[in-house]
Structure formats: structure tokens, C-alpha cells
Chain A
Amino acid sequence: MATLLDVLNSDDGLLNVGRTALSMAPNTSKSLLSLKTLQDGKVASKFTFTTLLKDAAPRDPSTLDSQDESQHYTLFPLALGQILRQYAVTEMHLALNAGNWNYDRWGYPEEQGVGTGAELWAWMGDGAAITVDERWKGLRNALAGLFCASLGSLDELRTTSPAQTFIPEGTLPDWGVPHTVRHASLPSEHVCTENLTPFLKLLPCKSLSGIASLLNPHRLFDADWHGMGVHVLWREGEGVEMRLTFQSVSDPLRHDAAKKQDWSLQSLFDRTIHRSCPVAHSSEIVVALPKNAFYSIKPEPPVIDRSSAHFDVNIHQKPLDVILTWPEPFSYPLDYQSESTNFSVKRTLRGPSQAHGQLSLVITNHRPYTIHTLYLETMPWLLQFYLHTLEARVDGVLRADIISNLTYIPSVPHSRPTTFQALLSLPPSSTVEITMDVTKAFLRYTEHPPDAQRGWDLPPAIFTPVEFAKNGTSFSVKEGRLYTSTLLVDLATPDFSMPYNVIIFTCSVIAYIFGSIFNLLTRRFVIVHIEPTKS
């Protein structure tokens, strides 16, 4: 506590004047870093930067014909704001993740969009001169340019409209027109530093002061799992909220010779906080304190709330480095407890052939009660389902009643993906196995990517928990999407020197036939009488 008082005294008055003035300003910016030690000794860190554009509203799509009013931005980034205005996007979520989130060991992530690769979904109002699909195309291309990511590949082949799973997080304005959702994911997108650089430019303080200065690409992309998210939504009565997130799971044990799970900001990010961001209204580091263990935390946290320590970066003495140490070396647990996830899912694609296969899901319910969940597949046409072969087994026994409320939009080859959605009821403490036969597509020569032999990444399946209403017929979707791992499908790939072989081969055959027939026609066949030799 002594340190805190010191800070208050040493802090110059100017900054305090500034902060009171800012609190009256219409727009607010908050940053938060939460750090948590996981069961397997890794450390999950999550940066959240929230900017609220007070009393702002998304653009009404019916005004797209006329020129937009002048846009003046202070805390909100101009580059992103202009894109959202131009395509009249009400709500947008972009996630770029690398690696596979391990729900069983790491628990449920703080930011729910953790599917491998790129995922973009947006809610847009209909009824404009420019259709939703055209605006969706413009949006993904603009974001691709902004974030240097190949989001342009999120084309019609991958775009679906699963409105039940991707419910808006904010409010949809009432313009008298229906809103529709567009969703697409690209699991093969690799997230790297070229995506982080434009991401940092959207932050009010870039990576030069405040919590954002910890965003060191060398360490973030060295982490076991990392992902960034851009979320823009509208809250009625408040305004447009932009939330930029960066999550990572780093492994302190990897760098530590003594096999201790000690970590500090310096060890995790190779940086400490030297200056506070002058425009952040609140800037906080929250450290989840370990349960049932001996540990020590430095510096002494000014506020401890339940099981977490809070540091206010704006007023804390600089440089700020939070250090958490354990006296004992780390021993891996034999069994991981799934506190925050109720069930775990394994999804695999079976079958050795390049024409057919079987999609298999093994879902284990860890709870002693029935869990209802929506199962969603947004499969590109590369894999086509044989819906009649859909089978569900509970602990090896065939059960038809656990799958209900099927929605199925079949794929159209070369254009539309499959949307398959079903409501699953997972019996208490049991394992459900769902299988379905699939056929693999035969692609055209030009549809193959440059590295065709690698196979195609298929997007993750998504599970959304649902809650039944009292009468038991209608259900509502709850927070907490769960992404399965992605799949890799090996499609029949041609020999890519084929066209030249075909040309050469055809030419040879034609030349041979031509030559023979031509010779037959023009050669003179003469009967030569061989007189028997007189001997």
C-alpha cells in the first residue's frame, strides 16, 4: 500500500487534470491484460482494448446510395471505421488464430472465437441498393487489405449464413429491414507478424505506451497458441464498441531449466511497462491467483478481489513488471479437470480412399446431467455428406433420439458450401459417437491450390450450448461456442505437368495417324514379279 501512495504523490498533477477532462469526453478507451496460469503450467494472457464511440450508430444501408457524412475519428481508428461505414456493417467479428485451443487442458478461453485460422462473421442490414453479398465481398476484401491476411479467399465457396449459432453480441438497429449474418472461415490462414503490425496501428497508443507496449511480436508468435480478434458491435443507448483482443498461451516451463512455472511480464513478453497510455481511461492488469498452492506475487497488488490481483497501470509506479513465483518445481497433473467446459469433442475424418470417407465425432459429456448443444458444420463442397448414413451411438448403442432439429442446406459443387446444423442431447456422463459417410470432391485442374499435395484444410465444427425454455419446446442459444480442431482432407490431385503431357501425347498420336494414312494414300504399291532364277 505504501507504494501506491508514493505513486499518487509522485504523479504530476497535469496527468490527473487530463484524466478528469477525458472522463467527460464522449469516447472512452479501456485496456485490460488478464493473465492466468493454466493446469499444465502454461500461462494464458489476454489483451483487451475496448473503444466506445459514444452515441454513434452503424450506417443505415438505405443511405448507401448517397454520400456519407464526414467522418471524424479520435480514439476509434479511421481505417477500420471507414470500412464499416462504406459497407454499412452493423456488427463484425474477425478472428485470426494460430494453433489449436486445447479446451480439456486450458479450459474455456476468455474470448470465445478460437477456431484455427481466420474466421469472419458480420451482421448486415438488408434492403440497400447494394446487396448484402456484394457488401460482404467488399468487406472481406477491405479487411484483407487492412490486415494483410488472405481474407479475400473467404468467398462464396466458404460463406454460409448460420444465424442460430452466430447470434449478434450487440443490438441490431431497427431500420425496418431484416438483418442477415454472413460467416466464413479459412483454417489454412497462417497468422503472423504481418497481421499484428496493422492490428497494432488500430490501437490508440499503438505498441508504444501502456499495456499495448507489451505486445512484442517476437514473443507473441513464439507462444504455443496465439490469436487476435477484432470485434465491432453496437449497443443500444451506448454507441459503437470496438474490441481488439490478443490472446496467447505461452509456456514458461520451456524456457526454465529449473522446471518451475514462474513467470513475469519480462519473461513472457520480454518487455515491461514504462509509460502509461495518455488516452486510456482505464488500464488494468488482472492476474488470476493460483488456488491451493504456495506462490508469491511482486509487486504487492493494490487490490485483491476474490482470486485475482488488480494493477492499475495508469497510476502504478513505472516500470511495472508483475512477477509470480512458486517455491516448488512444477509437476504435471495426471488428470486434467474440465471445470469450464462441460464436454469435449474429437472430430476425425476416416477412410483411406480419395473418393469416400467417414466423418466421425466423439463427444464426451463430463457432467452428470444431459447437455443440449447445437452442432454446426459449415463444410466447403470439397466434402459432401451422405445424410442418410448419419448415425449416433451412446456408449456403443445405436440411438436415434439424441439428434433432432436438423437443418441441412446441401452444397452445390464449385459454388456453395454445406450448412449442417443439428441439436444434440448428450446423455449424462457418457460418450456419444456420431458418424456420417462423406464423399470427396473431384476438383477441376484450375481449382487446385499451388500446394495441392498438402491437402485441403476444412473448417472446424462449432458447438453452441442451448437452453430449453420451461415448456420444453423452444430453445435459446447461450454464450460459449466451442470449436473442434480442423481437418485435413486429401483429394485426388492430378499430375500438374498433365496438360503438356496431353499436348505432346496427342500431337504424337495425330502425327502418327496422319503420317500412316498419308503414306498409305500416296505411296505406290507395285507388284514386282520375281522371275524364278533359272538355275
Chain B
Amino acid sequence: MTQPHINSVPNISIVLAYCAVIILALPAWWYTTSIQRLSLPSSRVHQLAQSHLQLPISLCIETSDVELTNSVRKTLSTQISRELERWKGLLVNVEGKVACAGESDKSDVYTIIPTSGPSWIQGRRLYTPLNGPSYIIQLAHTITSLLAPYSASNDPEHRVAQYSPRYRLAFSLLNEDAAAGNAILDWKIQDGLKANVNPILHRLSPLHNFTIESQVQFHAPLAFTPRQLDQAHGLTPEDLTVFVNSADWTLSSSSSNDPVLHFILFIPSVAHRPLRLLRNDGSASASTAFLVPQWGGIIIHNPKLGSFSGEELPQQDLNDVFYVFTNQLLALLGVPSLPPNVAKRTSGLSDWQLDALVRRRVLENAQGSQDTLLSIVKLVDQIENMPVGEDVKGDVEDALDALTKMYETSTTSLYQAFSHSAESFVLASRAFFNPGMLALLYFPAEHKYGVYAPLFASALIPLLVAALRELSAYRQERRTDKEAATKTIRQ
């Protein structure tokens, strides 16, 4: 059979041209369908996550006795080596009067002044007797509970609310059933706040900003019936976990996203009085207040029938209630209490307590911020469909900058380090919860294939078939050429 000889070169070039167009168009297609994923400074995050914050604490003993200074230093270091976890992140430096003479005017140095009589504190000074080895051991204990009050045994980690630069304090007076009579319809909350809460809030203002709101409710039913006792009604520890009836009590307004700490004064209805808290063994507890960890505090108040005027919370009860509320607030915010053998001469929070809290918050925020940044980097690496926009990148970078600044200032100023740590923590959380990172998470690959298949399947098949045909034609040609060549040789 004779076949007309046709040059197949133009055909191949046409097929190749089509393939080239498709291959060249691939980047454009990739670009238009890809999501914005800016690269995060992950090496910096990993590098910072390795480092641990060390907060220096200088102690100065007002004595020229070098021997005494050395023995205090030694006792304290054995104390520290015994409880390393408790002293984590704190670097204590003890100096005698001679060495710290130049620094004694610096405000953040803790001074220990030997005196006689019981120990007491004022400002950052501790007055304590120091004339004997037993006193030195006692001093080491006192200093431990003043500087590092959060021990492993009484760690309030699960009770203390997570750090936030702003808190809302919502005080509620809830009458279980005012219509049943004998209810407390009003309270002089301004007086209670002024006397107890406001001084604390003022002291804590370097750490948090507070907004206060209060309300009175006349019908706040419980979601369960309290257990009937002989002469009273009781709440078992299990009842306390479901005590807050959030379906029926509107406890705070939803006007902002700041975390809320609730303080509830609950007046049981006449039918449930007196209402007592029960211990695990079923006996009534003397206490009438309890704390809901990270949420708030609740006081159950049974008005005394004799002294009851029927309208307003009596002044004495108001003071008691707000005294308890204040303690609950301090516990929720993680303010440490003073060791029992140390007295303070001024009311309110001492500098020792406040500094210990600030140190705890710095360490917590630094750790939290580092963990959050690490999680962001990990998450973005893991989920390839997750967009990373300009704002997320900016927040991560700013959080890193704030962390760096915190490390720089941690040796000079505790409060500056704190404000940088808070800034970093807030920025890192904002980056982590950025809503833009969810945008294309739910655009599944199947969806894309469903859209592309009708186009590409029908367009690519002719191209593929043609390419195969050209390939086989080319092979055929080569074989015939070869055969022809051998034929000529034979001939």
C-alpha cells in the first residue's frame, strides 16, 4: 500500500503549542485560585519560644554584718533549691548593706531591716528580728511566701481568671422569690463599693482596668430544689456546681466582650430559709459564701427575722457582704495573701503582694504569648487551606516585638516588662482568633474538581489523544525510515 508522504512536523508543533499554552497558563491559574498566605516569622517564634524569662529580685539586708548576709543567702538558696518549681523564673540576689548601699534608694529593691518583736512590712521593707539561726530560717520561709507565694500545693491556677487588660465586675442582688415576702429589695451598693472594693481596684489599676455594673432582681429561681434538713435547707457540693441558673438569671449585659467576674448576693425565698452550704459529709458548713472558679463569687444571705426591716440590706450586713466580695475578687484575680506571721501597718494591698502578682502575671503572659504564637505557626503549617492575611502577620510581628521588649526590660523594670507582656499576650490572642483565618477553610477540594472537571476533561482528552496519535505516527515513521534504510543497505 502506498501512503502519501506528509510532513508531520507542523502537527507536532501545533500539539506542542497547545501544551505550552496550558503549561504557561498554569501559574496564572495557580495564582488566581490560591489564597493569601503570607509567611510568618516562624524562626523568630521558635527562637523566642526557647527562651525563658528570668525576673531578678534584689534583697538588701540592712546590716553591716557580712556573716549574717552570707548565712541568709545560704539558707535562702537551699530553700530555693528545694522548691525549684515555685521559684521558676525568679532570680534572687541577696546583698548586705555595704554592697547595696548605692541601690537602696532604688524603689524596686526589697529591704530587710533587723528589728525586735514580731515581723511587719511597710512598702517594700520587711522589719524582722534577725539575732539567731532560728530567725534566719524563719526569715527564709517568710521571704519565700512573700516573693514566691504560689506554691505547688496551693496553686490557684484553676481558680484565677485568665489575664485580661479589662474586666467587668457585675454585682447582683438576687432574691429567689421576692413575692413570697421578707425580701431585700435594695442595697446601698455605692457605700459597699466605696469602702471595700474601690481601694483594691485602685491598687490593681496598673494590671487591669475595671468597669462596674450592678443590678437587683426580685425573682431569681433556682434550677433545683435545695435539700430539706431538720431546721434548714442545704446545698450539697454537687448542687453548688449547678447553682448558677443562667437560663433564668440575666446576670450581665452583653454590651462588650470583656470578661465578666460575677458577684452574687443570693437571698433565698422564705420557703428555703435558712439555706446552708453542706460539706461532703452532709454537715452544715459555717461559711455561706463560695467561689465559682474563674467565674465569680456567690454569697448566700439569710436575713435575720428579728432585725429585718423588710426593704434594704442593713448596713452591717452590707459591710460583711462586701468584705467577702472583696476577698473573692482578690482570690479570682490571684492576689496572694500574706504569710500569717507577718503583719502590715497599712490597710490595703502591700507592695510585696502586688509585686508577686505582677511577677506571676508577667511569667504567665510571657508563657501564654509564646505558646499562642507557637500554636499559630503550627496551625498554619498544618492546615494548608488557611489564609494568613496582613493583619495576622502584623499582629504576630507586633507580639514578637513586644516579647523582645519585655525580655529587654525585664532586668530593669518589672512594671514595664509587665505592660509589654500584656501587650504581647493580647496581640497574640488577637492573631490566633482572627476571623479571616477561617475564610476558605470550608471550600472543599471536591467542590473545585466538580467545577473544573467538565472543562478540563472534555478539553484535555482531544489534546491527549492527538498527542498520542502524533507520538505513534512519529514512531511509525521512524520504523519505516529504518526499514527503508536497511532495505537500501541490502540493495
A205 sits at the interface (CB 8 A): yes
Answer whether residue A8 sits at the interface, using C-beta atoms and an 8 A cutoff: no
Q: A74-B216, A79-B250, A515-B459 known; A507 and B454 CB under 8 Å? A: yes
**Does A522 touch B at the CB level, under 8 Å?**
yes
Chain B residues in 8 Å Cβ range of A21: 310-311
On whether the beta carbons of B219 and A208 are closer than 8 Å, the reply is: yes
**Bound form: Cα–Cα A206–B462 in Å:** 74
The distance from the CB of A529 to the nearest CB of chain B, in whole angstroms, is 10
Interface string of A63-97 (1 = CB under 8 A from B): 00001101111110111011101100000000000
B252 close to A78 (CB less than 8 A): yes
A208 vs B183: C-alpha distance when bound (angstroms): 15
Cβ-defined contact, A208 with B214, below 8 A = no
- Docked pose: A67 CA to B209 CA in angstroms: 10
**Is there contact, CB below 8 Å, between B459 and A514?**
yes
**Do the beta carbons of A205 and B254 come within 8 Å of each other?**
no
Report yes or no: A78 in contact with B218, Cβ–Cβ below 8 A: no
- The reply to whether A70 and B212 form a contact with Cβ atoms under 8 Å apart is yes
When chains A and B are docked, how far (Å) is the Cα of A503 from the Cα of B343? 80
Docked Cα-Cα span, A72 to B182, in Å, equals: 22
Interface residues of A in 209-240 (CB under 8 A from B): 209-210
The answer to whether the Cβ of A345 comes within 8 Å of any Cβ in the partner chain is no
A70-B211 contact given A208-B219, A279-B185, A518-B462, CB 8 Å threshold? yes
Q: Is the interface of A mostly helix, strand, loop or mixed?
A: helix
Q: How far is the CA of A508 from the CA of B215 in the complex (A)?
A: 67
Q: Indicate the size class of the contact surface on chain A.
A: 35 or more
Interface 9-mer from B11-19, B50-58, B94-102: B11-19
B286 contacts partner chain A, Cβ-Cβ < 8 Å: no
Contact (Cβ within 8 A) B219 A205: yes
CB pair A146–B455 under 8 Å, yes or no, is: no
Q: Does A470 reach chain B (CB closer than 8 Å)?
A: no
B48 interface hit (Cβ, 8 Å): no
On chain B, the residues within 8 Å of A275 by CB distance are 179-180
Compute how far the CA of A504 lies from the CA of B453 in the bound complex, rounded to whole angstroms.
9
Residues of B within 8 Å of A201, CB to CB, are 248, 250
Proximity string of chain B (454-483) to chain A, C-beta cutoff 8 Å, 1 when within and 0 when not: 110111001100100110000000000000
Question: What is the total number of residues of chain B having a CB less than 8 Å from a CB of chain A?
Answer: 49
Least CB distance from B16 to A in Å reads: 11
Q: Is the CB of A522 within 8 A of B11?
A: yes
CA distance A201 to B254 in the complex (A): 14
In the complex, what distance in Å separates the CA atom of A276 from the CA atom of B177? 12
A67 touches B190 (CB 8 A): no
Residues of B within 8 A of A81 (CB): 253
**B263-296 toward A: CB 8 Å interface, digit per residue (1/0)?**
0000000000000000000000000000000000
Whether the pair B181, A15 counts as a contact (CB closer than 8 A) is: yes
Judge if A535 is at the interface, Cβ distance under 8 Å.
Answer: no
CB distance from A12 to the nearest CB of B (A): 8
Q: How far is the CA of A112 from the CA of B214 in the complex (A)?
A: 33
Nearest CB on A from B333, distance (A) = 18
Kindly list chain A residues whose C-beta atoms are within 8 Å of the C-beta of B463. 518
A276/B253 in contact, CB under 8 A: no
Distance of B42 from chain A, by nearest CB (Å): 37
A120 on the B face (CB < 8 A) = no
Return A18 CB to nearest CB of chain B, in Å.
Answer: 5
Most chain A CB atoms below 10 A, which of B250, B309, B470: B250
Quick check: A524 and B11 within 8 Å, CB to CB? Answer: yes
23 A-B pairs (CB sep. < 8 Å): A17-B310, A22-B185, A25-B186, A70-B211, A71-B214, A78-B213, A78-B252, A86-B255, A86-B256, A146-B254, A278-B178, A278-B218, A504-B454, A508-B458, A511-B458, A512-B458, A515-B462, A518-B462, A519-B462, A519-B466, A522-B470, A524-B6, A526-B6
Extra pairs beyond A22-B311, A145-B254 (7, CB < 8 Å): A73-B213, A79-B253, A86-B255, A201-B250, A204-B218, A278-B179, A511-B458
Binding site for A on B (CB under 8 A): 4, 6, 11, 14-15, 18, 177-183, 185-186, 189-190, 193, 209, 211-216, 218-219, 221, 248, 250, 252-256, 309-311, 451, 454-455, 457-459, 462-463, 466, 469-470
Chain A residues with a Cβ under 8 A of chain B: 12, 14-15, 17-18, 21-22, 25, 67-68, 70-75, 77-79, 81-83, 85-86, 142, 145-146, 198, 201, 204-206, 208-210, 275-279, 503-504, 506-508, 510-512, 514-515, 518-519, 521-522, 524, 526
Q: Which 3 A-B pairs have the closest CB atoms?
A: A511-B458, A82-B253, A209-B179
